[in-house]
Amino acid sequence: MSLTIGVDVGGTKVAAGVVDEQGRILEKLRRPTPSTDPEETAGAIADLVGRLKAEHRDVVAVGLGAAGFVDESRSVVLFAPNLAWRDEPIKDKVEQRVGLPVVVENDANAMAWGEARFGAGRGERYLVCITLGTGIGGGIIVDGRLYRGRYGIGAEFGHIRVVPDGRRCGCGNRGCWEQYASGNALAHEARDLARVNPGWAARMIELSGGSPEVITGLAVSQAAREGDPAALECFQSVAEWTGQGMADLAATLDPGAFIIGGGLSAVADLLLEPIKKAFANAVTGHGHRRLADVRVAELGPDAGIVGAADLARQ
Ligand SMILES: [Zn+2]
């Protein structure tokens, strides 16, 4: 049986796992990312791969998933916002260090592939994966294949503009979808609410140590779990924006299922039903078409490792 290694390269940590043909992780290692120096980042990846390879002799290839733009040849990271990678030839660098073939993939694409093959998307050939974390990551599966676009950087739908002259986004534009439907959006919504109506937002402010300015998504989630109506109102807003954006994507892509992953999927019990409702309300042609399923991701934080490892096998 052939084994591959999947690596999830984040801004703060690198996680790597040996994965078998059924998508099972046999062993996993992690270490902090030396994110400011490209050579040290490559060295950290090679270190983890080398240690795993020493224990598992049958490893035949490596898949790297990283947050950023990956070129169409899947070898160069053009730009990674959380790392010092600019036109970084990471495939060559890691191959030289570890002596195994390496493929590079955008992290959200890797997660989408993992879910499509072994998680919530099993058996469905048309999928849209939405990773609701600090921002929105996206992955599209068309006819059972990962859709990457002509230049490798498709499915960045967190930056579709949904509000003209809306909230500022890290990408330089205003009104991007991820400013209204993500973990950061949840906190943003709560802080806005707390500023104009601190009495109504009292529980979220209390959970954040007394200041409306530092309310986190975690505090909103905790308050919502307690039934706090102000927190639930923030969840409702994020769910409505998520469903609206999904309706727009369905107008173009008509998937069989949406898979919701990322940090916010941990509070799927609070989000899933309102998202489904908002999606059904917003989708064009409702009543005259089959609606895409809306499912929660199944592989959790390991989806990127499993997906990258499987892409290395393809
Ligand atoms: Zn943006």
Give residue-wise pLDDT tens across range 164-204: 999 999 889 999 999 999 999 999 999 999 999 999 999 99
In this prediction, residue 81 carries a pLDDT of 85
Distance from the alpha carbon of residue 58 to the mean position of ligand 1, in angstroms: 42
User: How many angstroms separate the alpha carbon of residue 65 from the centre of ligand 1?
Assistant: 21
Model confidence at 34, pLDDT cuts 50, 70, 90, reads very high
Task: Identify each DSSP E strand in 11-58 by its residue range.
Answer: 13-19, 25-32
Whole-structure pTM value: 0.94
What is the distance in A from the centroid of ligand 1 to the CA of 1?
Answer: 43
pLDDT score, position 1? 75
Grade residue 309 by pLDDT with cuts at 50, 70 and 90.
very high
Measured in angstroms, how far is the CA atom of residue 115 from the centroid of ligand 1? 25
What integer best gives the mean pLDDT of the chain? 96
Query: In angstroms, what CA-CA distances link 221 with 4, 233, 245?
Result: 37, 11, 22
Cα 160 to ligand 1 centroid, rounded to whole Å:
7
pLDDT per residue over 118-140, tens digit each? 999 999 999 999 999 989 999 99
Distances in Å between the Cα of 169 and the Cα atoms of 20, 23, 133, 242, 245 are 39, 35, 14, 17, 16
Percent of the chain residues past pLDDT 70, beyond the cut: 100
Distance, CA 184 to ligand 1 centroid (Å)?
Answer: 13
* Residue 223 pLDDT exceeds 80: yes
Residue 82 CA to ligand 1 centre (angstroms)? 15
* Ligand 1 ion local residues (Cβ < 5 A): 159, 169, 171, 173, 176
Query: What local confidence, expressed as pLDDT, does residue 82 receive?
Result: 87
